[in-house]
Amino acid sequence: MTPVYMIGGGITKFAKAHPEKDFRLMVKEAYDYTLHDVPRLSKDMIDGAVGSYFSDHFTRQLKAASMVQDYLGLCPKPSKRVEGGGATGGLCFQSAWEAIASGRMNCCLAFGFETMSRVNTWKGNEFIALASDTNFDFPVGGFYSGYYAMMVQRHMYEFGTTVEQMAMVSIKNHANALYNPYAQKAKRLTIKQVRESPMVATPLTMEDICTMSDGAAVCVLASEELAGKVCDRPVTITGVGSGSDAMRMADRPHGKVILLPHERESDYQHLKYPGVHSFRGGRMAAKLAYEMAGIRNPIEELSFVELHDAYTSSEIQTYEDLGLCRYGEGGRFVESGMPFLPGIDYGLELPKQGRLPVNPSGGLLACGHPVGATGLMQAVFAFWQLQGTIGKHLNNERLQVRNAKRGLIHSHAGTGTYITVSILEAV
């Protein structure tokens, strides 16, 4: 495999609606930002593109990625669309990685977008729920927040996770976003405010759940030779992994935990896994990515994580899948303060604040979740962190993780049906 580098990225401001721009123009904005940021990179060096958007229902336009390809002036170069629910962006990123790693391309553009504002929020929820089994799950109450609520009820039952611990995730991510001008929904919150916001699906309130967005993001990946030629501070992608699980949550088995290098079978003697409380596909993705990147103990070897926090509960579940703590300890992990950023006052007592920042950008909860763009947005924030250029791109340094060496990005679909984990490292 050829080493793969990320050499540029751009994001549009995520917003509830961008009626003045269609998906082509949104991608164009993020693309132009990228080219401007990497002045020695020109269009003729780009060998091809991978486009991602989740829902043909939202877009009301099949093959919309072809329209982006021509709008950017990239025809007749290779192009394709990648779709995988909420993990669409992460899968797109890895597809571009594959194009470089295989030697097929020297430079590949990954672009993603979603225009969710074209229908009302509840119709949008229906569209998203069509990504659950339409014979057995959708007709019963087709609502992803309901599915995640059932998962966390079981997590609470198995492990004693609390709604206050979940609220702390919401406080963290919304407060981080105060310093991220790309974010859609930045604010200061208290545990009381999170719990008193309207109940959506017990125990998840409005402030436990991400919002729908319009937005686009692009990444440019390149071979070592091209990266060295055009980019002053490229970032290398040292590990990729992905995993999957049964579409219907009801069909998940109750078996043995997939172990990471720093875990032992005796850690989980009585845990039936994954059940509906854990994401087996996320654990598989992490295991594969860690193996490729040579990571033995993620909590010691990562500088930050950008993970798919569509729900506060799924951030807690994902700490465990990624091995940042043991299964069952996700609630206590957030309580410890470890996933918070240092130097920001969250109004909480956090004994180990800032040991491993998770979602310094504000994550999906605060940035928004324009599905096809989301996984690429995470890559762009991780790229800027590892370059040390957060200050330049966000116009302030508050979210810059000091001495960031190695970051993890995690993209997640359905109730855990497709999940990607990618590891990026400063050069």
Partner 1 sequence: MTDKGTVVLGVDPLVIRDHYEIDYHHSYAQDSPFFVGLTKGQLLGSRCTACGYTYATPRAHCMGCGAATSWFALPLTGRVHTFTTCHYGGESFLKETPFTLILVEFDGADTLFLSRLKGLQPDAVRIGLPVVARFAKTPSFKVTDVWFEPAAQG
Residues forming the site for partner 1 (CB under 8 A) = 19-20, 60, 120, 122-123, 125-126, 128-129, 135-143, 145-146, 149-151, 153-154, 157, 198-204, 246, 248-254, 276
Nearer to partner 1, 68 or 156 (CB): 156
Supply the minimum distance, in Å, between the C-beta of residue 245 and partner 1: 10
- Structure token pair of residue 89: 């962006």
Nearer to partner 1, 200 or 409 (CB): 200
Cα gap 10→15, rounded to integer Å: 15
Supply the minimum distance, in Å, between the C-beta of residue 415 and partner 1: 11
Cα gap 347→340, rounded to integer Å: 12
Nearer to partner 1, 131 or 409 (CB): 131
Site of tokens 């590990």: 239
What is residue 173's three-state secondary structure? helix
Nearer to partner 1, 20 or 265 (CB): 20
DSSP string of 196-227?
HSPEEETTEEGGGB----EEEEEEEEEEHHHH
Supply the minimum distance, in Å, between the C-beta of residue 142 and partner 1: 5
Supply the minimum distance, in Å, between the C-beta of residue 91 and partner 1: 22
Supply the minimum distance, in Å, between the C-beta of residue 185 and partner 1: 17
Query: Which residues make Cβ contacts (< 8 Å) with residue 127, sequence separation at least 6?
Result: 55, 57, 58, 119
Supply the minimum distance, in Å, between the C-beta of residue 354 and partner 1: 33
Cα gap 301→38, rounded to integer Å: 29
Cα gap 294→290, rounded to integer Å: 6
Supply the minimum distance, in Å, between the C-beta of residue 418 and partner 1: 16
Supply the minimum distance, in Å, between the C-beta of residue 163 and partner 1: 13
Nearer to partner 1, 3 or 141 (CB): 141
Nearer to partner 1, 2 or 125 (CB): 125
39 cis-preceded (ω within 30 degrees of 0)? no
Cα gap 224→53, rounded to integer Å: 28
Which residue, among 359, 354, 353, has the nearest Cα to 319 in the 3D structure? 359
Nearer to partner 1, 100 or 204 (CB): 204
Supply the minimum distance, in Å, between the C-beta of residue 331 and partner 1: 17
Instruction: Decide if 88 contacts 53 (C-beta within 8 A).
Output: yes
Three-state SS annotation for 110-132: EEEEEEHHHCCHHHHHHHHHCCC
Nearer to partner 1, 20 or 349 (CB): 20
- Structure token pair of residue 410: 């995690």
Nearer to partner 1, 143 or 319 (CB): 143
Supply the minimum distance, in Å, between the C-beta of residue 113 and partner 1: 17
Instruction: Decide if 408 contacts 285 (C-beta within 8 A).
Output: no
The residue type found at 329 is E
User: H/E element holding 93?
Assistant: helix 88-101
Nearer to partner 1, 200 or 284 (CB): 200
In Å, what is the CA distance from 148 to each residue of 46, 154, 275? Answer: 40, 10, 13
Cα gap 70→84, rounded to integer Å: 23
Nearer to partner 1, 67 or 246 (CB): 246
Supply the minimum distance, in Å, between the C-beta of residue 207 and partner 1: 14
What is residue 262's three-state secondary structure? coil
Cα gap 142→7, rounded to integer Å: 40
In Å, what is the CA distance from 409 to each residue of 153, 166, 384? Answer: 26, 21, 13
Site of tokens 């956090």: 350
